Structure 1
Amino acid sequence: MKEKKVRQLAAVMFTDIVGYTALMEGDEEAAIKVRSRHRKVFQQEHETHQGEIIQYYGDGALSIFKSAIEAVHCAIGIQRLLKEGDPVVPVRVGLHMGDIVYSNTEVYGDGVNFASRIESLGVAGAILLSGKLNDELKNQKQISTRSLGIFELKNITNPVEVFSVTNDGITVPAPSELKGKLKKPVKSIAVLPLANMSSNEENEYFSDGMTEEIINALAKIKGLNVTSRTSSFFFKNKNIPVPQIGKELNVSTILEGSIRLAGNQMRITIQLIDVADDFHFWSVTFDRSMDDIFAVQDEISLLIAEKLREHLGHFDIEDHLVDGPEIPVEIYKRYLKSRYLMLKMSKHDIDTGISDLQQIVSEYPHFTKAHLGIHLGYALLGTIGLMPAGEAFAKGQPFLDKAIELDETLPECQLNLSWISFLQKWDLALTYRHLNKGLEISSAVDFYQSMASTLGAEGKFKAALNYLETAFQIDPFSHINYHLKGFIFYAEEKYEKAIEQFEKSISLKSDSQVSIQYWGQALLLQGRNTEGLAFFQNLPDKPGDLTKLGGTTLAHAALADMDQAKTGIA
């Protein structure tokens, strides 16, 4: 008798055990225990969530559900249980909602193939979803997901958006960790630091400054996604292939080049590279006089923009992207050098940079960016802890006031005005006006971070996370992005997810004190008081830094050791 086959819409789950083949070759007995536990948990959770196991195949399994919601709850249950106990079983899960052909012995069809490809992208502990299945989860407050980007899958005609479940206890991979080919944003570029080819190594300040000016100029173009300075400079002096950098930054185009200074002359070489093909589709060399530096910056930025438009597709370009200040070239070079020093973040370098800029504004009081630079210097001293915060901010404020008086339309001025409106005046309507005005001029990551901070302060966490997603696209290596995301989870009392983000922030900037503080507090708020005390006690002693003392005092109080807590307060 011919077996009856039924076509139906179903949620399809694929799983496999990561590293099972190697484990079987090295320790067959351990591999059998892992597989046995996998199947026990798998069956238990499928019975709970009304799933039907169709087939076990070596280290994996295929199953179907009538409900996408139940399928995801089942996957969450499986991952949480397999991450605990003995042995721990590293599993990746892929889910898709699609059309299948089903009989008593097998399941096949496009839906099955799709789920298999989604699963193959993943990493241990993760649950990946197709966009179609993710659409079924709307209004399900118990399930949280986020997009990892658009991927090209083997034997799937069109690129697809892939989502990750982000519930507590579930591993959320970075897009670069997935094994598929990430479809790059169509109109995007990362400007890598221009190499200093001068005989004098001290001219590096100039090549870094020119790089930053090009980034800022291109960021003014609507419809072009420009990676921020922080993430571009992350790859400075690192011998990494361009395709890998492009994948890490999720861009379609990379700009690299060099600058050579000789007397009053400069040679600037620029190359544009298509990341997907690792193909240099345009290069140019400029031999120019330093006397024309601002015109050259504008000329180069416009030409790069035009070549990108030819290669990537249409976007509007303004007549000018760089408006040079009316100052001598030598003063501008001193400004670049001062900024270069301050961004080294040491007290000596910041103090030197501030001193040089103060001399510049005494000679050229109309140079707005120099005033902003001094304000930045004092802000860095106060934020890093190299000067009492109140004293540093008070010293920097007059220079910000002067910059705003000179030209409040500058993006940096609008950004600082938004901070004043938010932090000092608590005028949220005015804060948003300044931020939106700034975004009309520039797509710099600072505006998206500030939007997220303001929305988070209002308790609008979902909207804040949306702005942070854009911030991550522009600046994927920003410790600030990870801290802000952690803080939002912290405010939502999702402490484990918050700790995960704080840890990533600190991995990018080991002295990120604010992330360290909230990480420890998150441990205490989970009732992990002994662990929290050990966390704060293991912090290094730093003169004037109260993170360790404050944290240990809180932990002693949480442990009801009031004598120690009172000692800390005293």
Structure 2
Amino acid sequence: MKGKITRQLAAVMFTDIVGYTALMQKNEAVAMRIRSRHREVFESLHKIYNGEIIQYYGDGTLSVFKSAIEAANCAIQIQNLLQDGDPVPVRIGLHMGDIVYSETEVYGDGVNLASRIESMSVAGGILLSNKLNDELKNHPTISTISLGHFELKNIENPVEVFAISNEGIKVPLLQEISGKRKNNYKTIAVLPFANMSTSAENEYFSDGITEEIINALAKIKSLKVTSRTSSFFFKNKNVPIKQIAKELNVSAILEGSVRLAGDTMRITAQLIQTEEDFHFWSETWDRKLENIFEVQDEISLLIADKLREHFGHFEINEHLVTKPTESISAYEYCLKAKFHKNKWNPKDVETAISYYDKALKIDPNYSDALVGNADCYSFLGTTGFMPFEEAWGITIQYTNQAIELNDESSGVYYQLSNQAFFIGCDYDKSLTKMKKAIEINPNNADAQQFISFLYIIAGNRAKAKNHLDIALSINPLSDETHFFRSYFHYMIEDYQIALTMLNRCIANNNKNIPAHSIKTLCLLKLGKYEEVITYFDNVPEDVIIEGEKTGAIALAYAMKKDKAKTLQYQHLLEEQAKASNGFTSDSYLFLMHAVLGEVDKAFQWVEKSLQNKASLLLLRYTDPLVNDLKKDSRYTKYHKVIYPNSDEPQSIGPKKALLDEETTESYKNRLLALFEEEKPYLNSDLSLRSLANHLEIHPNQLSWLLNESIGKNFNEFVNHYRVEAFKKNANDPNNSHLSLIGLAYDSGFNSKTVFNTYFKKETGLTPKQFLKNQN
């Protein structure tokens, strides 16, 4: 290609009109009118948001922006305007990446990826890459939601795709997206086994069998098993297997049925390979009820064997199910208890306790029943439906009994972690016990959620995100997982994103107590004080915790600077805090001190809470509402006391750039000039550290510059230049004597595999295909 070539990091936008070709064939005049309106809106908004229109092609467009926020705002306004009157069905894709300008065209990875993402979208929707989404994190006016990782044509690695979720913008369902979601081939979901018994009352048994198989398979550490919550989302729903697999992101599904008749049972099970939607294994067992544990073990082992045969190696123990009790009656009571406990409301939890008690009366050493009762009482104590100390006292009793019987139970260590947190106010012990729970069972979604919570309150954002992603992969449809995601975003001050997620949690369950609580805090940080003052008027009375309600209203008046109302509600909080169950009200007094600038009183509260082992200190100390306290030297001192050994906490808040804008641009220009003039990429031993030394910049800063400013990692950046060098060398007649690999080595590559991989990634062709096209 001749002429001047320039490179630039830009936000790339692709748009097109959905169904335009069909409309042209049906009514050309209407189609032309729609296209004219699309272009009119497109051009006017690009002037406002400083976009550069590169190309019109039929019903589509290509444009670029210097700023990701301007590109996103322009896209939102395009959709808003085109929805007025007669809607124009436009889809939009955005990406932040490296583009190349020549005298006749624009091309490059940034253009290719934006085009792929746009083609996945739907009418009224705006999809964007993770690179562009990262640029929007400090802009609360734009909300986005991750749709997962997708494998895109001619793009080597899976790309995480996000959807803008602002009001009026269409967020596509997974089944509407025309892209292949990344799949982990060692993944399985166990769907609820159908109750084929003549009595509907036996549903607890079929549910119990399902849960036991899930728990058994979860013991295989190399196998990712979808949690009970997400699997049971599809209970009694007529959803195609392929759609279930897509939503759960699994490669295999187990389904089956259970029939009870007196003391006999028939269990059927079949495995489905989801990509092709075919059954590759099935079996039926006719057994006596007294053999239930042996059958569960047999089923689980067979499933594991078949998965290993089809999807690759992982280790399997001799047994996956051990006999938990000698009494079938106790086991049935335990299944009935789990059936009610899993509904997680006070009435059903109390029913569950009654069944666990019956099981323990028959077998006092039944570990599962002991842990189940501990779960129930901790729920009642934490949510305030039972006196805190009484509930946790009973919880501790059951947990201690359980660990004496089974010290390798993930559920027991999960409970011990909760006790250390809520009773002992001992962060270090809580973290240690939760790590043990995960070590025993990495598929314990509850443990993955809670450890992410422990890391985020201590400020370790990276570890929190890692465990949250694992929890999401295990339990993608759980409201609880999405609540923890919303809390993560609240703590890093992405309030609008957090609010969007919380609204979805509450829409699914209006009695979600923690979701209501964190939502009021989000609203406070967004300045919506009046909404907070009346918020609890629309919350079901049976889930309102008075301390939460009074505290939220008090904070709203304080932040609104209404002195009279602030004093009124602060006094009410102080009175509530004196009660035996006033721990929630007391914790809001800390937030009030911080918001009102009562710094000394705030730290006095911290000292008192440490002495009293008040667990809500762990929760409140790093809340964004106390940001003003973080300027005080005492804050860091207490942080180290409250969160010891939290794996080197990182500061909570939006990521800070390692270089300011001016310095970034300066180093970027030096880097690009160096590569054009001195061609360091021809040195096959070039490393990021040696390049950083040459530029006199810290390697961390160079890595940040490459990834965040240029949009490529070190290998992608360097090998792009090497591919271009290869193409130039291949077209030079003086090199006709060199082989393909010889040309690659002369271009800076030192590996045939790396060369072939990056060449195809850059060009979409193999080296041989490229050379053939040149001749």
State the TM-score, normalizing by the size of structure 1.
Answer: 0.85
1:168–1:494 Cα contact (<8 Å) kept = no
Partner of 2:450: 450
Query: Which has a greater percent of strand?
Result: 1
1:196–1:204 Cα contact (<8 Å) kept = yes
Amino acid at match of 2:120: L
SS at match of 1:254: strand
Change (3 A) 1:378 1:564: same
Partner of 1:551: 552
2:4–2:103 Cα contact (<8 Å) kept = yes
Which of 30, 36, 40 is matched with 1:36 structurally?
40
SS at match of 1:261: strand
Cα deviation code 1:23-63 (max 9, x no counterpart): x999998986664343223244345xxxx431134664213
**Which stretch shows the higher mean deviation, 484-493 or 201-210?**
484-493
**Which stretch shows the higher mean deviation, 74-83 or 433-442?**
74-83
Deviation of residue 111 (structure 1)? 6.4
SS at match of 1:39: helix
- Rounded to whole Å, the distance in 2 between the matches of 1:566 and 1:433 is 41
Change (3 A) 1:385 1:424: closer
- Rounded to whole Å, the distance in 1 between the matches of 2:213 and 2:182 is 25
Deviation of residue 391 (structure 1)? 3.5
SS at match of 1:190: strand
Partner of 2:258: 259
Amino acid at match of 1:517: S
Partner of 1:518: 518
Deviation of residue 81 (structure 1)? 5.3
Deviation of residue 94 (structure 1)? 3.0
**Which stretch shows the higher mean deviation, 462-471 or 115-124?**
115-124
Bigger radius of gyration: 2
- Rounded to whole Å, the distance in 2 between the matches of 1:532 and 1:79 is 31
1:206 paired to 2:213: no
Deviation of residue 293 (structure 1)? 1.2
Cα deviation code 1:270-326 (max 9, x no counterpart): 011111111111111111111111111111100000011111111111111111124
Deviation of residue 179 (structure 1)? 2.8
Aligned pairs (5 A) from 1:10-409: 13-16=12-15, 35-46=39-50, 52-57=52-57, 60-64=60-64, 70=66, 72-79=68-75, 82=78, 92-95=92-95, 97=97, 102-104=102-104, 106-107=105-106, 112-122=111-121, 124=124, 126-129=126-129, 148-153=147-152, 156=154, 160-164=158-162, 178-409=177-408
2:13–2:62 Cα contact (<8 Å) kept = yes
RMSD: 3.8
Amino acid at match of 2:312: G
- Rounded to whole Å, the distance in 1 between the matches of 2:82 and 2:287 is 68
Amino acid at match of 1:236: K
- Rounded to whole Å, the distance in 2 between the matches of 1:567 and 1:83 is 46
2:399–2:416 Cα contact (<8 Å) kept = no
Cα deviation code 1:402-431 (max 9, x no counterpart): 112322321111111222333443444433
1:473 paired to 2:473: yes
2:99–2:107 Cα contact (<8 Å) kept = no
1:168–1:497 Cα contact (<8 Å) kept = no
1:441 paired to 2:445: no
Cα deviation code 1:170-198 (max 9, x no counterpart): 99877666331213211111100000001
- Rounded to whole Å, the distance in 2 between the matches of 1:25 and 1:277 is 43
- Rounded to whole Å, the distance in 2 between the matches of 1:12 and 1:405 is 59
Cα deviation code 1:526-550 (max 9, x no counterpart): 2222233343333343486324454
Change (3 A) 1:167 1:352: closer
Deviation of residue 159 (structure 1)? 6.4
- Give the fraction of aligned pairs with identical amino acids, expressed as a percent: 39
Deviation of residue 211 (structure 1)? 0.5
Query: Which has a greater percent of helix?
Result: 2
Partner of 2:538: 538
Amino acid at match of 2:71: A
- Rounded to whole Å, the distance in 2 between the matches of 1:59 and 1:459 is 48
1:92–1:122 Cα contact (<8 Å) kept = yes
* Number of equivalences: 555
Deviation of residue 214 (structure 1)? 0.5
- Rounded to whole Å, the distance in 2 between the matches of 1:515 and 1:177 is 28
Change (3 A) 1:183 1:319: same
Amino acid at match of 1:75: A
SS at match of 1:268: strand
2:11–2:71 Cα contact (<8 Å) kept = no
SS at match of 1:281: strand
Change (3 A) 1:352 1:541: closer
SS at match of 2:541: coil
- Rounded to whole Å, the distance in 2 between the matches of 1:496 and 1:146 is 11
**Which stretch shows the higher mean deviation, 360-369 or 223-232?**
360-369
Deviation of residue 238 (structure 1)? 0.6
- Rounded to whole Å, the distance in 1 between the matches of 2:109 and 2:498 is 38
Amino acid at match of 1:397: I
Change (3 A) 1:523 1:347: closer
Change (3 A) 1:102 1:175: farther
Deviation of residue 255 (structure 1)? 0.8
Partner of 1:507: 507
Partner of 2:498: 498
Amino acid at match of 1:403: A
Partner of 2:529: 529
SS at match of 1:496: helix
Change (3 A) 1:364 1:391: same
Cα deviation code 1:129-173 (max 9, x no counterpart): 27xx679x89x989999975442445x386632343889999987
1:192–1:255 Cα contact (<8 Å) kept = yes
1:291–1:329 Cα contact (<8 Å) kept = yes
Q: Structure 1, unaligned stretches of length 5 or more?
A: none
2:125–2:164 Cα contact (<8 Å) kept = no
Deviation of residue 557 (structure 1)? 4.2
1:259–1:269 Cα contact (<8 Å) kept = yes
1:486–1:499 Cα contact (<8 Å) kept = yes
1:20–1:59 Cα contact (<8 Å) kept = no
- Rounded to whole Å, the distance in 2 between the matches of 1:356 and 1:530 is 45
Amino acid at match of 2:489: F
- Rounded to whole Å, the distance in 1 between the matches of 2:235 and 2:193 is 9
Q: Structure 2, unaligned stretches of length 5 or more?
A: 573-775
Amino acid at match of 1:504: R
State the TM-score, normalizing by the size of structure 2.
Answer: 0.64
1:228–1:475 Cα contact (<8 Å) kept = yes
- Rounded to whole Å, the distance in 1 between the matches of 2:477 and 2:194 is 21
Change (3 A) 1:92 1:101: same
